[in-house]
């Protein structure tokens, strides 16, 4: 893959966007783990905790990139990523189990362990978008790290102000998942025979995930509104 080709650049942009859209949990974990520390130590906890977390995530992503060469794992990873794309839209994340550290090293350890446990979505998504290119994984992480460390909280505020960004992010994840499925060596001939069939499948997957998430969120909002109105009447 040529560094300056449209394919390489579009894949790199996709990886960076995935890192950003899934950085919300990272920012929340950092904030909760470091909240009891003095201001001067909070900065150190953020920097070193994130460096450790990103290092583990990078190694895990590279490992997954190689594992995806095993038959049927690309298909399995794609299906799992579709579930992650859906959960991104409908999940009401709770982070009550993230305990604040009482000292710098406790906070750093909490950040690394929690991020490793919660980072499977990012690992699978980035590995799928990279299509076996380790350079893409590393470049994507290098570009994303400064933004995750210093800008992830800001990105959360942007998402709160413009909720449609979450739907865009979910669509990107669904597209990446669909591409993983179409690149599964055991069934890729099915899609290679017709570009129209391949693109129809990609578009259908993205639309189904977004519509399903929108339907679930609308139903939940309507239910909450009904419960609130009943509470007011009583």
Q: How confident is the model at residue 198, as a pLDDT?
A: 93
Place of tokens 């560094």: 3
Q: Is the dihedral of CA 170, 201, 194, 77 positive or negative?
A: positive
**Percentage of residues in the chain having pLDDT higher than 70:** 76
B/e letters for 184-198, b = 16+ CB within 10 Å, e = fewer, are beeeeeebeeeeeeb
pLDDT digits (tens, 9 = 90+) for 86-97: 988 886 555 555
Read off the tokens for 28.
């929340």
CA 27 to CA 168: how far, in whole Å? Answer: 20
Place of tokens 């009904």: 226
Indicate the pTM of the whole model.
0.75
Residue 131, by phi and psi: left (phi above 0), alpha (psi -120 to 50) or beta?
Answer: left
């Amino acid at each position: 893959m040529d560094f300056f080709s449209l394919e390489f650049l579009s894949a790199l942009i996709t990886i960076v966007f995935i890192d950003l859209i899934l950085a919300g949990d990272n920012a929340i974990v950092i904030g909760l783990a470091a909240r009891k520390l003095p201001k001067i130590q909070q900065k150190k906890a953020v920097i070193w905790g994130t460096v450790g977390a990103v290092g583990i995530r990078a190694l895990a992503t590279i490992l997954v990139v190689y594992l995806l060469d095993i038959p049927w794992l690309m298909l399995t990873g794609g299906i799992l990523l579709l579930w992650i794309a859906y959960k991104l839209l409908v999940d009401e994340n709770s982070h009550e189990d993230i305990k604040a550290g009482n000292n710098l090293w406790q906070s750093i350890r909490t950040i690394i362990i929690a991020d490793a446990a919660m980072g499977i979505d990012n690992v699978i998504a980035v590995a799928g978008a990279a299509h076996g290119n380790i350079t893409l994984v590393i470049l994507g992480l290098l570009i994303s790290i400064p933004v995750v460390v210093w800008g992830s909280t800001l990105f959360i505020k942007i998402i709160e102000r413009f909720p449609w960004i979450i739907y865009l992010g979910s669509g990107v994840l669904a597209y990446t998942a669909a591409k993983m499925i179409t690149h599964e060596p055991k069934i890729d001939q099915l899609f290679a025979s017709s570009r129209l069939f391949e693109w129809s499948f990609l578009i259908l997957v993205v639309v189904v995930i977004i519509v399903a998430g929108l339907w679930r969120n609308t139903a939940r909002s309507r239910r909450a509104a009904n419960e609130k109105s009943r509470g007011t009447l009583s």
